[in-house]
Amino acid sequence: MPYAKIVGTGSYLPPRVVSNDELAAELATRNVQTSDEWIVTRTGIRQRHLADPGVKTSTMAVLSAREAMQNAGIGTDEIDLIVVATSTPDFIFPSTACLVQAELGVMQGAAFDVQAVCSGFIYALTAAEALIRVGRAKTALVIGAEVFSGILDWSDRSTCVLFGDGAGTVVLKASDEPGIIGAQLNADGRQKDILYAAGNVSCGKVVGDPFLRMDGQAVFKLAVNALAQSAKDVCAEAGVALKDIDWLVPHQANVRILNFLSKKLHIPLEKVIVTLDKHANTSAASVPLALDVAWRDGRIKAGDLVMMQGVGGGFTWGSVLARM
């Protein structure tokens, strides 16, 4: 049975960068009061990238995928699986993954979407790894991509300052060497009301509230405890001690969550990849974006042991432990 190994990464962020000061000025025109100090103190976010009107999730996914393919040195003829994690698909159907497949010119293999909100990339990576391990695929593009700005209520200060848009991709390939050595996925649907976007389309009309809503305190408490336990469980499954982890790449939601998680796991903050100050919470894109940054700047190196974690609406969470 082959292993599945990450052999390349790529990312894309929209060119429009909006600082906290710029966002505060824009929100003031809507009678929403905030400031750079208020946002940074509570979240650690200093700016976000926002897609221009009309930019689709698939467009950003394709751009990040091309970069990852170039980084991995592979062509379209080698790809036989595309999994896109997104909560903001272009259409109800076909899937965003099929749109990506067509745009890339991939003529073979399977393509499908995964919807687990901010845990989506972890879910997608685990699904792709399983298909490679059983021989159903050899080379996969695993993509997290979101245009979250399109589902934000810009009159709700508690949510609209938190999110941004972007896409990240990893190339996952069958290998004789261990790559992904542990994974765990979890969900608790009883917590569905603490983070949701409940609108839907019926008979040509939007039914219900289409905007993201969140109980921040409830999410914070559940996220820290769930991620800490998940990390411990995955390490136990893989026979690895927490102290042996070289890098923790968690979902980029809130710097307070990252600080508490670091303390709970006794992993020094110097080993935690933090990028949310640059691109805010990009949901399913946040983990691959952070991974790509750290891989390209040389912090994460071949052979390093990396823990990736996601947590999001559903409520969902999970961890993947990989040898790079």
Show me where the domains of the chain are located.
3-175, 180-323
Between the alpha carbon of residue 238 and those of residues 109, 124, 128, 307, the distances in Å are 30, 20, 18, 12
3-state secondary structure of 59: helix
From the list 118, 186, 235, 279, the catalytic residue is: 118
Across 79-122, where does the E strand assignment appear? 81-85, 110-114
Q: Is 160 a catalytic residue?
A: no
Q: Is 71 a catalytic residue?
A: no
Is residue 165 within 8 A of residue 146, CB to CB? The reply is yes
Listed as ranges, residues in the chain with pLDDT below 70 are: none
- Could you check whether 3-175 and 180-323 share the same CATH topology? yes
From the list 20, 98, 160, 251, the catalytic residue is: 251
3-state secondary structure of 200: strand
Q: How many CB atoms lie within 10 A of CB 190?
A: 8
Q: For the domain 180-323, what is the CATH code? A: 3.40.47.10
Alpha-carbon gap, residue 102 to 91, rounded angstroms: 15
pLDDT at 1: 75
pLDDT 10s digits, 124-154: 999 999 999 999 999 999 999 999 999 999 9
Q: For the domain 3-175, what is the CATH code? A: 3.40.47.10
Q: Is 118 a catalytic residue?
A: yes
pLDDT at 78: 98
